[in-house]
Amino acid sequence: MPHLFSADRRQFLMTSAGMAGLAVAASLLPAGLARAAGLTVGFIYVGPKDDYGYNQAHAEGAKAVKQIAGVTVIEEELVPETVDVQKTMESMINFDGATLLFPTSFGYFDPHILTVAPKYPEIRFEHCGGLWSEGMPANTGSYFGYIGMGQYLNGIAAGHATKTKKIGFVAAKPIPQVLLNINSFLLGARSVDPEITCQVIFTGEWSLAVKEAEATNALADQGCDVVTCHVDGPKVVMETGAGRGMYLCGYHANQSPLAPDMYLTGAEWNWAQVYTDMVNTTIAGGTIPNFVRGGLAEGFVKMSPLGPAVSDAARNQFEATQAEILKGGYAVIKGPLKDNKGNVIAAGGEAYAEDDVKLESMDYLVEGVVGSTS
Amino acid sequence: MTDIGLWGVPLAILGGAIRVSTPFIFVSIGEALTERSGRINLGLEGTLVFGAMSGYAVAFHSDSAWLGVLAAAFFGLLFGLFHGFVCKLPKVNDIAIGIALMLLGTGLAFFFGKPYVQPVAPDLPSIPFGFWSDIPQVEAALRINVLFILGIVLAVAMAFMFRATRIGLIVRVVGDSADAARAMGINIDLVRLLSTGVGGALAGVAGAYLSLYYPGSWNEGISSGQGLMAVALVIFARWNPVNCFWAALLFGGAGALGPALQSVGVTQGYYLFYAAPYVLTLGLLIATSSTRRAMSSAPGELSITK
């Protein structure tokens, strides 16, 4: 077991003398023997990996990676966005021999990955959603998909389905990706009817079942008749919304089995393809670019099949727009556009295409969204 | 759908009070019984989470939500009896055991609950008390779950039991003065064991309400500390089951304030509104406290007041 005596391991033992006993014990485990050949890939999730949502989408990607010959996949779920994730990463590296890590939750990146990565220059850290920039460790990278485009398509389906001209969005935290989703959802609906408004409720946390249910009920009380969300597990929002007779637009994964009649469509991740590509690149000896992005065209994002409640008119506009987006470079945020406080976001003729990195520092809600970022 | 505008806020608070409060009601009246017998069970959070998991799992397999509730009560009873049994041993601190059981309960629930995150189990039925109204929002707010009503009945029955029955007197004596109880020939350990067991069973039912009715699904994040807050509510309610009910309603209603205000356009400072239940509890505790005397209704044998 030569890897046990690599510089990393020695350094690790020296810096944490108290852990020495544990390390010896770990080296006796059969798992330590089995991983001599091939690639070990570690996936870290913030929630349960079968949550009908964010974590399930990543776990489905991990499942695809398991199919690749010579690859061992280790997974740990329910890892908080605290120093806990640093411990999990170090134990995956030191005890399981992982050389490629996918810590998937947004809050893992800064400071946790940025703290651990410089200590292990041979290990590759791939983070979902973070904004990698020059000057950050070369062995880290960030990848993400333009799922806002999926929310734009959701918005088109919602715009055709709403009768009250009010649609609802249950959001976790006002970070750029969430704001882009909210704005795209409304702009999609407004491409059908410019009178439509979108009511957003922030719950403040990625996973708070009771509050998500309360938020969905509050939206229904205010007359919203279509709801979508950006929380880790959309199951509660979907089930509560369906119970209140709202049409549903899914997010992260396909939630149509929860309420097939009310489910219009949904914006889903397609991590299986992304992860398979990344792992194959690593096996072939190549390097994954530090900054990876892709949308519907690149297969990072896909839409759930349209549900039975989607009208023909909606289907036509949905499919036409999807075809446009599939060409790449589609712009949802384009002028003339104001935010909901009256500031100009984009003048006439100005447009931010899906791959514009400026969208990843979004801090506004567009006109027509009822809500506030703080 | 009727546009009800700002009326949505009081309606949401009413509806939220009814929907969100039920777990608080069950945990807190159960804990009121346990504490009246002179013991504290801080492990109810773990019992609640295990109840949520086991209730959901049994409901899913048996296709009957009520069997799920029974199963949750049964496992809650086991947790409660275990707590009561361990605390009976000499030199055991009930608070430490409670914390250990809280972690054990949630850990076991996460472990066994893994296969049940995805499946959809049947929901508990609710009674449409809003049938007289043709406003859908009112109908929705007044769709009341049977467990909520059962909670009211239990709270009143327990208050009556404490005040006017022999069993209530025995529990109170055991909780107020072990010496007096021993002199009366009461088996203190047995009374406390049963009180803790029943308290655990009620916490299990509270969990089943979470997973089987509102929000109505099982996952690791289902409880946002209801079990712990309910234990605090007991002190707030001065160990009176009927007060526990009101405290739970207040807490549920305050919890609905945040989402409801955002939905009518009051969107600034939602983190502050989410703190409303806790601020309210603190404020009321301070307002009702006294500088001159200790809490008069506190059971004398409680390890925190002794």
Please give the average pLDDT of every successive group of 10 residues along chain A, which has 374 residues.
47 47 44 57 90 90 94 92 94 94 92 94 91 89 93 97 96 93 97 96 89 92 94 92 95 93 96 93 91 91 96 96 93 93 91 89 94 84
Say how far apart CA B271 and CA A374 lie, in whole Å. 8
State whether residue A319 sits within 8 Å of chain B by CB.
no
Instruction: Please give the pLDDT value at position B28.
Output: 96
Separation in Å, CA B277 to CA B8, B9, B249, B264: 19, 16, 11, 20
| Partners of residue A207 in chain B, C-beta under 8 Å | 219, 221
Residue of A nearest to B271 (CA): A204
Cα B208 → chain centroid: 11
Q: Best residue in B1, B137, B257 to probe A by mutation, most A CBs within 10 Å?
A: B1
Residue B253 has pLDDT above 60, yes or no: yes
Q: Which amino acid is at B33?
A: L
Q: How far is A264 from chain B (nearest CA, A)?
A: 20
For the sheet with A369-370, list strands across it: A301-303, A263-269, A247-252, A226-230, A166-171, A197-202, A369-370
Residue of B nearest to A212 (CA): B215
Residue B121 contacts residue B65 (beta carbons within 8 Å) = yes
Interface touch B219/A48, C-beta < 8 Å: yes
Separation in Å, CA A356 to CA A143, A333, A369: 14, 10, 22
Residue B140 has pLDDT above 90, yes or no: no
Say how far apart CA A176 and CA A110 lie, in whole Å. 15
Q: How far is B42 from chain A (nearest CA, A)?
A: 22
Interface touch A207/B221, C-beta < 8 Å: yes
Instruction: Please give the pLDDT value at position A33.
Output: 40
Alpha-helical (H) ranges within A191-311 are 209-221, 235-243, 271-283
Instruction: Please give the pLDDT value at position B73.
Output: 97
Alpha-helical (H) ranges within B114-264 are 136-141, 146-164, 166-176, 178-183, 188-212, 226-236, 241-263
Q: What is the residue-wise DSSP string for B125-169?
A: PEEETTTT---HHHHHHTEEEHHHHHHHHHHHHHHHHHHHSHHHH
Residue B32 contacts residue B167 (beta carbons within 8 Å) = no
Q: Give residue-wise pLDDT tens across range B86-136.
A: 999 988 899 999 999 999 999 999 989 888 888 889 989 888 888 888 888
| Partners of residue B220 in chain A, C-beta under 8 Å | 47-48, 78
Residues 144-163 of A with CB under 8 A from B: none
Q: Best residue in A202, A210, A373 to probe B by mutation, most B CBs within 10 Å?
A: A210
Q: Give residue-wise pLDDT tens across range B53-66.
A: 999 999 999 999 99
Cis bond upstream, residue B215 (ω within 30) = yes
Instruction: Please give the pLDDT value at position A269.
Output: 94
Q: Which residues contact A156 (CB under 8 A, 6 or more apart)?
A: A188, A189, A191, A192, A314, A317, A318, A321
Interface touch A209/B222, C-beta < 8 Å: yes
Q: Which CATH number fits domain A35-145+271-294: 3.20.20.140, 3.90.1150.10, 3.40.50.2300, 1.10.3720.10?
A: 3.40.50.2300
Q: Best residue in A178, A206, A214 to probe B by mutation, most B CBs within 10 Å?
A: A214
Residue of B nearest to A219 (CA): B263
Interface touch B117/A51, C-beta < 8 Å: yes
What percentage of chain B has pLDDT greater than the value 90? 54
Q: Best residue in A46, A165, A221, A341 to probe B by mutation, most B CBs within 10 Å?
A: A221
**Comparing C-alpha atoms, which of A158, B153, A277, B75 is closest to residue B144?**
B153
Interface touch B1/A235, C-beta < 8 Å: no
State whether residue B83 sits within 8 Å of chain A by CB.
no
State whether residue B99 sits within 8 Å of chain A by CB.
no
CATH 3.40.50.2300 domain range(s) in chain A: 35-145+271-294, 148-268+300-370
Q: What angle do CA A87, A90, A94 make, to 5 degrees?
A: 135
Average pLDDT over residues B16-41: 93
Report the range of poorest mean pLDDT among A240-249, B17-26, B265-274.
B265-274
Mean pLDDT for chain B overall: 89
Nearest to B259 among A215, A233, A257 (CB): A215
ipTM of this complex: 0.86
State whether residue A212 sits within 8 Å of chain B by CB.
yes
Say how far apart CA A97 and CA A122 lie, in whole Å. 11
Sign of the four-CA dihedral B275, B277, B282, B283: positive
Residue B190 contacts residue B88 (beta carbons within 8 Å) = no
State whether residue B21 sits within 8 Å of chain A by CB.
no
Q: Best residue in B116, B219, B224, B266 to probe A by mutation, most A CBs within 10 Å?
A: B219
Q: How far is B219 from chain A (nearest CA, A)?
A: 7
Q: How far is A323 from chain B (nearest CA, A)?
A: 33
Instruction: Please give the pLDDT value at position B306.
Output: 55
Say how far apart CA A214 and CA A191 lie, in whole Å. 29
Say how far apart CA B255 and CA B21 lie, in whole Å. 9
Q: Which domains does chain B have, with CATH numbers?
A: 5-128+136-288 (1.10.3470)
Q: Give residue-wise pLDDT tens across range B183-229.
A: 999 999 999 999 999 999 999 999 999 999 988 889 888 888 888 88
Nearest to B118 among A52, A204, A221 (CB): A52
Interface touch B255/A214, C-beta < 8 Å: yes
Nearest to A236 among B1, B217, B264 (CB): B217
Say how far apart CA A40 and CA A60 lie, in whole Å. 17
Say how far apart CA A44 and CA A82 lie, in whole Å. 13
State whether residue B107 sits within 8 Å of chain A by CB.
no
| Partners of residue A210 in chain B, C-beta under 8 Å | 20, 210, 214-215, 224, 226, 255
State whether residue A200 sits within 8 Å of chain B by CB.
yes
Interface touch A218/B4, C-beta < 8 Å: no
**Residue-level length of chain A:** 374
Class at the top of the CATH hierarchy for domain A148-268+300-370: alpha beta
Report the DSSP beta bridge partners of residue A71.
A39
Say how far apart CA A254 and CA A267 lie, in whole Å. 8
Query: Whose structure tokens read 């509270």?
Result: B206
Interface touch A374/B269, C-beta < 8 Å: yes
Q: Are strands A247-252 and A291-294 parallel, antiparallel or unpaired?
A: unpaired
Instruction: Please give the pLDDT value at position A31.
Output: 43
Interface touch B216/A48, C-beta < 8 Å: no
Interface touch A209/B271, C-beta < 8 Å: no
Q: CA dihedral in degrees (A147, A149, A155, A156; nearest 10)?
A: -140
B38 in the Ramachandran plot: left (φ > 0), alpha (ψ -120 to 50) or beta?
A: left
Q: Are strands A351-353 and A331-334 parallel, antiparallel or unpaired?
A: antiparallel
Say how far apart CA B266 and CA A162 lie, in whole Å. 23
Interface touch A209/B20, C-beta < 8 Å: no
A70 in the Ramachandran plot: left (φ > 0), alpha (ψ -120 to 50) or beta?
A: left
Nearest to A214 among B16, B137, B268 (CB): B16
State whether residue B6 sits within 8 Å of chain A by CB.
no
Cα B173 → chain centroid: 24
| Partners of residue B265 in chain A, C-beta under 8 Å | 370
State whether residue B262 sits within 8 Å of chain A by CB.
yes
Instruction: Please give the pLDDT value at position B293.
Output: 65
Interface touch A199/B210, C-beta < 8 Å: no
